[in-house]
Structure 1
Amino acid sequence: MKGADGSFAGVVVGTMRLAYFRKLFSKADLGRHGSISLFRTDGISLMRVPYDPSQIGLSFAKSSNFQRFVRSPSGTFVGTAIIDGVDRIYSFTHVGDLPLVMNVALAEGDVFAVWRTKSMIIGFSLIVLCVAAAILAQLLRRQLRRTASTEVMLSRSEAQYRLFADHAQDVIVRLDRSLRRTYVSPAVSSMLGYAPEELLGHSFSEMVHPDDWPNVAVLICASQAEGSNTEATYRLRHQGGHHVWIEARYSWVAEDAGFVVVLRDISKRKAAEEQLEGLNAELERVARCDALTGLSNRRHFDEVLDSEWRRAKRDRGTVSLVLIDVDRFKLYNDHYGHQKGDACLRAVASAVAGSVRRPGDLTARYGGEELVIILTSTNESGAAQVAERVRDAIQSLGLPHIGNPACGSVVTASLGCATLNPSDGEEPSALVAQADARLYEAKRTGRNRVVATMPVAAVVSDSSGEVDRLQALASYEEAGVAHPSDSLDRIAQLTAQLLGMPMAFVSLVGREEAALVGRYNVEMDRAPRDAAYCAHTIQGDELLVVPSTLADPRFTYNPLTKAGIGFYAGAPLIDPCNGHKLGALCVVDHQARQPLDEAQRRLLAGLARLVMNDLESRACAATTHTPELDRIQAA
């Protein structure tokens, strides 16, 4: 083929499958001695039926029969075959514009034997062959046109793809089996600062950041082994020495087990992601942090406690909890103001955090002036040591607190410790409840102390304080008022009715026993001190409330609990002259009940003061014996 300017443009080649003609010719029934032949115009035999491989490719250009074929485009004549000497009637034709000559030859003997039938077959065969030749020519011309059109389209597509590759912002790289670059698009200059030719033939791994290459290598090897595509995000070295974050898509090429790689610069996106991660981390920190103290907040505390509880249950370990309450903090706020109160809480929180040294432990603000510490894998003794260290650190701050005179007029805290081995069916709330009960006991029994265990029996102290208490109680006995009286019975009845309790009593706790000097629906008039609930009540300045005596380890095996007492609440009877706790005003029930609310607590404490007023007035009357006082007492 020649181009428009006459230059050589290429060669067009057409091929024919001879087996097709053999198959086609074999279908014709030409009698025993008939034949069908296909020649080129130069006399070369392309196909002859009956088929003889030795005759294919022979030249019959000089035979008289072929000379007749050449002289006319088609015709019929009788001649003798040069191959086998059989006289045949030859019918031939040139196949369209193709350099082909086809002839059908019938033996004269066969023709004249059944000439009518054969003539019809021959005519039909000629028609079929002509049609086939025409179809063949048409198909060949169509195929040639398609081939030429395809070549033009391929040329245009290649130019188009080259245009895309040269002008795309993403870098396109072709890697061979050994991961060496065989093509790099021009966009690499703007992305990495290199000219494309600088990178050709070099290993792909040379530019990957050393920290990223191991992961990238694993992905690529797996993709080659599986014959699949893959993606990766990593850093490539820029010509300037810094690294650029890129996102790479590897498309596996089956022909050479290499890759077509598309690289996209994601440095800005990566910077935005890192900034977002930082903001998210800050938001998470803020979400978990208490704004005032800087400690973890209640939400984070609940999450960590639940997590540590499940871990301890799985590992059969322990979890300890320390609840901390700043003593008389409401009075501090009332006297110094809320800004000073906030500063006080921050100082206390800092002291607590500084006393908790293990990174696995957590310090949080539980609520208000209450802080909490989670101690992982810590037993009761260890938790008590940490709690004492915290208590001392808070007291050592030396923050003035005029409303806390009993503890040196400085800021102090009460602490309750609890340790549990989580078991099936138990919840973390059980640990919190136990620590809270011990915190309340620390506050009730004087504040600025740690309560790590609940004593089963009330402590009978031989200290000077206990001696002075017993002397104060003896003065009431000498005055003749430390015995049952109608007025105390009425106060007991009033107390039971106001609090909705079935039983109430007034007790005075001596060295060996507690005497019930006022009773309502109570049969017994005295009880051993080591069994009396009120012996625990006088250990502190505040109420002792036991919602369930069976559930409280101090009273589970108490004889009174076994006798049927399920609930107890008692307010200490405090001598107004010297502050000694002489006994308690108590209410009890056979069933466990909900704890008293704040209003009920205030009511019980007020009625306990009423009891002391009654004792004081009767003691005063016994010493003066004036008619006026007798009248007041009678009233």
Structure 2
Amino acid sequence: MANSLSRYPLLAGIAGTGVAVVMAGLSIATLYQGREEALSHARETSANLVSIIGGDIARNVEIYDLSLRAVVDGAQDASIMVLPLNLRRRILFDRATTAAYIGGSYVIDARGRVIIKENPTATPPETFAEREYFLAHRNNPSVGLFFSHPYLTHANGAAIGMSRRINAPDGSFAGIALLTVNLQYFRSLLDKIEVGPKGSIFIVQDDGALIVRKPFLGEDINRNVAGSATFARMTHTSSGSYVAKSPVDGVERIFTFAHVPGTPFIVGVAPAQEDVLETWRARSTVVGVLTLLFGLSFIALSWLLTLSLRERARAQEELVRLAGTDALTGLPNRRAFDERMDEEWRRARRSNTAVSVLFIDVDYFKAYNDNYGHALGDDALAAVAECIALSVRRPGDIPARYGGEEFVVLLPDTQIDGALHLAETIRARIRTRSIAHRGSLIGRLTVSIGCATAAPPGLGGAYGLLSDADQQLYEAKAAGRDCVRPMTLASVEIAQS
């Protein structure tokens, strides 16, 4: 991994960014899961509350219904109805009819008048003939237990009526048995439960009539929510849960509801989604900010590492380049030349192409140093190197300083004629530079060049070719210097063989 980072420094930045993105993704996934768990827990809690409230209502309705049935049975028994009033009252009305939330218990005749009341001091209306529960039983013998809509009473505030039909011996309508249940009973159930500052609990009838709601609003009495989209969803199933805006106050809530068996009541618990997610949002904000800071820091460190590795790679490349470069002339040094020489020799053998080498030596350079000093001698070598570099134009040709005042040029895929032409170009360019040289017979700085070619490379090896070029250099010096001596055609043929 370390070697990969050194060779490809961008990997550090890309990998660091990738890790940060993955970490952010995992954090987001975890936070989202936490959100779903908070909502799920709220639904479960709401379902439990709905079950508790519904169970209490179902038990009390069952008790009240048993009392009503007893009243109906007694009212239909002629032997009981002829007893004295106080005795009839004690027989017809049990303890359930005197419970805390019962507003009144009555036996009402076929004309809507009260004939027996549980509380002798109660002052009911003169007639119940126009009440919905009375009309329902009179018009339909099979109604059974009937629950009225909420209504206001003079004595006990708001209430609902529970009633059953009383039949005459011939089956005709003889009146009703009535219990009035104060809405305070339903409020007492909701008062014990907290569902957050913006939450709501309600009990509604299956036709949309609102029985009670927490928080209580004065206008809730006689309110009907049948036209709201949220209520419509409650009428299709016996229980369920959904998220919607309340038709009463517009707050988005998680509605969990259930129908109370044997009654027209629907109990709903609806905590506000904002309240449910408040703790999750606070925690998510902290986690999100920390994840963002750590992620950005990690990315920044990754890219700083990338920049550091890139600079290190550049420094290493520079060191490699400097290790293969002659500091004085800027040309490749002997080490770099030897490596390239081996590579080009093997390539030439594979492709069966020619390789040529120029061996260049500055004439009378010792005398130049003696006359002008080493500093100017270095300047002269730099000038010679510049002339060589300017003459070598092909990208594959390799000029190098071989040592001291000696230079070489490697010419891949070059025959002897091309090598000779380049050698003459180099020699002429250096002579034209007209660098003064008192130690030379010509009076200016010149070079001698030996030229050798392997076409194609034979078994003598790369250094055999370099030796041939060196031998031709000695030939050029023996010929008076400032000249080029190539291998003759016969020499090339011998080298090939």
Q: TM-score, normalised by structure 2?
A: 0.41
With a CA cutoff of 8 Å and minimum separation of 6, indicate the structure with the bigger relative contact order: 2
TM-score by length of 1: 0.32
